[in-house]
Amino acid sequence: MAPDNNGQGERQGEGNDRPYLFVHSYPPPIAHAPAFPTDTGKRPVPTEVVWYLCSGIQPLTVFQPGTDLTVTVTIGNWQGGNSDSIAYVGLWWTLPVSGSPMPGPDKFIGFTTVVVPPHGGQVVSDPLTAKIPEDSGDHICLLAKVWHPLDLPDAAVADPVNDRHWAQHNLVILPSEARQTFTFLATNPTDREAGYQINVRPVHARMWPNFNFDGNLQPVRATARRLVLTSEVGEQEVQGEGTLIHTLVLDPEEQRELKLTIDLSEPLRQGTFAPFEIVQSIEERPTGGIGIAVVGSS
């Protein structure tokens, strides 16, 4: 019998020689980070880890619309026995999404295979490269999938929160010198209408090490004096101070465009950033998220 697909339990694959694959998501690749547990494929991830900033998805080039983007993916394997396992790896890009990613074939970056040792082995994939269209916008999300014929995801729907076969890297960087607005998609990948909650809030300090930057930017606590979420559907506008909560109903397979404006109470010093997040939930269960780093420049 194959191990549970979502990776519940400790080292679930150790009891047999079937593959037990996952996109390696933590600890974050940051110096002087507090002690993090070892990623054994258990999902959801521990509370000090953010699922939307998978450290195993690593861009090797700077994202710029209209140019090539190159990315590697780190795969782990907690199967038992002594056999290595072949793993199939796919990578997509999407517009920033607060819910489950819904990538189409036009957003496929590439496919590769890796051979991963058992008992917690890790392998970094060959680089995957694709040209990102010029009209993609200033921010994108990266979505990775790993599988084997004997170790498949639960469903066709991407679920980076609960399924170890999926992972996403979804980070938006905004300058702090002025009120900033960016666009994202709230998604419903199911075939039925569903109600969701959008929550915009500062990231808890225990999760700051997940935000990893070149240049040694330091995370700081900041307050948003004004958060504004707008939608063209019904011309809705929701405002909040410090945090923002919005409830919406999405049609089957709908991807609704939303715009978020962040206005900080005080400017940030140069060399610092304030971490925020957007989390989409259904019945208090997260379905996806976006990390936001508001970077100081004054």
Structure-block tokens of residue 10: 């400790």
Q: Are 292 and 266 in contact (CB under 8 A)?
A: no
Q: Are 85 and 148 in contact (CB under 8 A)?
A: yes
Structure-block tokens of residue 63: 């994202």
The H-or-E segment that residue 55 falls in is none
User: In Å, how far are 83, 115, 116, 147, 151 from 112, measured between CA atoms?
Assistant: 20, 11, 13, 11, 17
* pLDDT tens, the chain, 298 aa long: 334 444 444 455 566 789 999 999 988 765 445 567 789 999 999 888 899 999 999 999 999 999 999 999 999 999 988 899 999 999 999 999 999 999 889 999 999 999 999 999 999 999 999 999 999 988 999 999 999 999 999 877 899 999 999 999 999 999 887 777 899 999 999 999 999 999 999 999 989 988 987 667 899 999 999 999 999 776 678 999 999 999 999 999 999 999 999 999 998 999 999 999 999 999 999 999 999 999 998 6
Please name each of the domains of the chain with its CATH number.
12-170 (2.60.40.10), 174-295 (2.60.40.10)
Residue type, 286: P
Other C-beta atoms lying within 10 Å of the C-beta of residue 2 = 13
Measured between alpha carbons, how far is 212 from 28 in angstroms, rounded to an integer?
7
Does this model's pTM top 0.85? My answer is: yes
Q: Are 73 and 91 in contact (CB under 8 A)?
A: yes
